[in-house]
Structure 1
Amino acid sequence: MKVEKKDIDKIAHLARLNIQPEQEQQLLADMNNILDWVDKLSELDTDGVEPLTHITQEVNSLRADKVESTLSTEEGLKNAPEKEGSFFKVPKVLKRSS
């Protein structure tokens, strides 16, 4: 697959890029070089190669879920600067448009 000027124009439009005419030829060459490089991957023999699901072999160490005693609502709200019932009261951060 080769990238042509019309492809660059379409990509620039979709990505909302303002590409200067003097940049088009270099961009065209760079994009074609990238696609040529990626096309080389089809030359590799991948028979018997398992697909990757993760880039590394690291595994998350997760803790087991277990019920523990936690703060009660009253304890959690004890030092709150403002509260309303059983909730923290915070300043409004979004304005409602009417």
Structure 2
Amino acid sequence: MTRIQKTLAALAIGTCSLVAVVPALAQSGAAPTTAAAPAAAAPMLTIRQVYDKMEAAGYRNISEIERSSKHGYEVKAYDPQGQRVKLRVDPQSGAVTRSRFDD
């Protein structure tokens, strides 16, 4: 068998394997996954949604909300005790991941 014939035979076997697996996945409701395809991330909250979540959590006088490429959102506000704080907020859930007093 030549190299081309071996390559074509390997491709045919691989294709047959995929043809057999795809219907089984479709019937089970499972989605095929590959190592190269990243998992679907949750949608990012808008600045207005972050503002509403911070307000609902008791933060007041929210003066600044910035999108940070490293940390999600950075928010400057007053906490429920009246202290000026700088927060890091998760961009998908709106949860405060870090809080520190702002100077």
TM-score by length of 1: 0.29
Which of structures 1 and 2 has the bigger CA Rg? 1
TM-score by length of 2: 0.28
- Give the structure with the higher percent strand: 2
